[in-house]
Structure 1
Amino acid sequence: MHIFKISPIIRITLSCLYIALTVPLPFLADFTNAPIPSNVLWIGIFIGAIAVYAALSERVILDDEQIKVAYPQWVPRFFRKGWSLTWQEIDNLKMRTTGQGGLVYYFTTSSAEKAYLLPMRIAGFNKMVNLVAEKTGINTADVRPLAQPWMYLILFVCTMFLWLIDGWTIWTATHFTRPLA
């Protein structure tokens, strides 16, 4: 059995981005006397952080029988369901373009009822694709991940700059008692 988790660089980058986008909000709410109290925003940020962590806890499990996308048991099924396909059910791996011009791949089955997205943001993507090729006989030579690691590194660097701006924003909001006119 092989278990693949979302790449650490993706998990760290998206978690840091979430923090950068949300943490200044309660401070700004206090500073501007917003109608929503900052403690309500803190509760929302905490719930959102749990949701982000849940979404980033996806794992892909390959064994002799099937490929399965699963989440830990604490993640409610209505939030993230997951799926599984036996190797015999898989007919093909179809390429589709995204709205931004990227390429994604879907497993298709003989029943053709549904297509199942090939997980592309996992650590060990090439190993997983090679195992899929071995189990299904499908040629996966042209299958590449949607986003390259350098893209997430650039996003991480931009997020760190955003953290600097957040620090200045929080400092400003906590050191002035009323909004500037």
Structure 2
Amino acid sequence: MTVETLSPTVFRISAIIRITLLSLYTVLMIPLPFLSKAVQAPVPPMVLWVGIGLGAIILYGLLTEQVIVDEWGIQVTYSPWVRLVPGFRKGWSLPWNQIKALKPKTTGQGGLVYYFLTQTGEGYLLPMRMAGFSRFVAMVQAQTGIDTTDVRPLAQPWMYLILFGCSLLLGLVDIWTISTALNG
């Protein structure tokens, strides 16, 4: 196996995934403060607005994940402000020479994820939601010699497009719900 010289390549979470998850979060959360006020729930709308804002910040922070591939290895990292939050995701790095294998594992929903296994037996989850995934696994194969021809992303883009379409429909229901709550 010959290790190629790689200039650093950055892979970010796919735009369709980011947009879909942020849209879904928005349409699920925005009606809650209006409904809370309309039904005089014990939780004040302002508390819900603060919680929704914090949740949006957390979700956005998670969606800043990036995978950096270079001649040294793989690094999964997040925006600097995310790494500063105690107890939050810090990311990981793994040199090419420590990767022994790629092990598939079935998820609880029947999907298939992969873990990098190191020489010491540790497992690191293969990032799968990035734009340029096929180029990424080709780089992994070139650097490690591990066959990645059967490695596919966990979810296909069309699945996120369907979920985005459902988010748009739910947004229409939200408009009706909010207007009913404000006028009721």
Choose the corresponding residue for 1:132, options 128, 137, 140. Answer: 140
Equivalent residue of 2:102, what SS? strand
Matched length: 175
2:173 is matched with which residue: 160, 165, 175? Answer: 165
Identity of aligned residues (%): 58
- Alpha-carbon distance in 2 for matches of 1:100, 1:38: 35
Match of 1:64?
71
When normalised by structure 1's length, the TM-score is: 0.95
Name the aligned partner's letter for residue 179 of structure 2: W
Identify the match of residue 94 of structure 1 among 100, 103, 106: 103
Which AA in structure 1 matches 2:62?
A
Equivalent positions of 1:137-156 (< 5 A) are 137-156=145-164
CA RMSD after TM alignment: 0.7
Corresponding residue of 2:16? 9
Letter in 1 for 2:59: V
Q: Distance in 2 between matches of 1:74 and 1:80?
A: 11
The match for 2:129 is 121
Q: Secondary structure at the match of 1:88?
A: helix
For 2:112, give the aligned amino acid. L
Q: What secondary structure does 1:68 align onto?
A: strand
Q: Is 1:36 matched with 2:32?
A: no
User: What residue in structure 1 maps to residue 112 of structure 2?
Assistant: 103
Structure 2: 5+ residue stretches without partners: 1-7
Q: CA deviation at 1:77?
A: 5.1
Amino acid at match of 2:155: A
1:66 Cα shift?
1.2
Opposite residue 47 of structure 2, the aligned amino acid is: V
Distance 1:20 1:92 in 2: 41
Kindly provide the amino acid, as one letter, of the partner of residue 166 in structure 1.
Answer: D
Q: Give a deviation string over 1:113-165, Cα, whole Å, max 9, x none.
A: x2000000000000000011111111111111110000001101111111010
TM-score normalised per structure 2: 0.93
Q: Deviations over 1:44-98 (max 9, x none)?
A: 1100000000011100000110101000110025211211100000000011111
Take 2:180 and 2:66, find their aligned partners in 1: how far apart are those partners?
Answer: 41
Tell me the distance in 1 between the aligned counterparts of 2:19 and 2:86: 24
